Amino acid sequence: MAHYNSHNELEIYKLAREINKDVWSLIKTTSLGNDYKLRDQINGSSGSIMDNIAEGFGRGGNKEFINFLSYSRGSCFETEAQLQRAYDRNHISEETFKEISVKTQDLSDQISKFINYLKSTDRKGSKFD
């Protein structure tokens, strides 16, 4: 695996950022923006996906990174559940729900694979180099 100098280079971070932008667009263009509690929850959880990837990367050690990736994966599931609630409350269409839900499922799978890679590698992280 290539050595990354920034969390911005990671494909999982790029997809997390895309999901966050998708959620923000929903907040700005649908009635979800008026469902204040759900709006704040989904905005927070979708942001948490990318935030935890960045923070874990910044720790410089694989064990810590794995912990933060686990939080990020949890936030993917949380965001998907909140998308389901937005759909159930008729804030978003079924098509929109499915479109973003596929992304959260794909990202959670990618994060799981990355966690497994980090667990199997002999490299302990940049702070140990």
pLDDT of residue 4: 84
Architecture of domain 7-121: Up-down Bundle (1.20)
H or E element in which residue 106 lies: helix 94-120
**Secondary structure of residue 27 in the 3-state scheme:** helix
Torsion region of 21: left, alpha or beta (phi above 0 gives left; psi -120 to 50 gives alpha): alpha
Instruction: Tell me which amino acid residue 36 is.
Output: Y
pLDDT given for residue 2 in this prediction: 55
DSSP 3-state of 103 = helix
Q: Shortest CA distance to 24 belongs to which of 58, 49, 6?
A: 49
Please, what's the b/e burial string for 45-71 (b: 16 or more CB within 10 A of its CB; e: otherwise)?
Answer: bbbbbbbbbbbbbeeeebebbbbbbeb
Name the nearest CA neighbour of 16 among 112, 102, 94, 107.
107
Q: What pLDDT was estimated at residue 127?
A: 76
User: What is the full per-residue pLDDT of the chain (129 aa) written as tens digits?
Assistant: 457 889 999 999 999 999 999 999 999 999 999 999 999 999 999 999 999 999 999 998 999 999 999 999 999 999 999 999 999 999 999 999 999 999 999 999 999 999 999 999 888 877 777
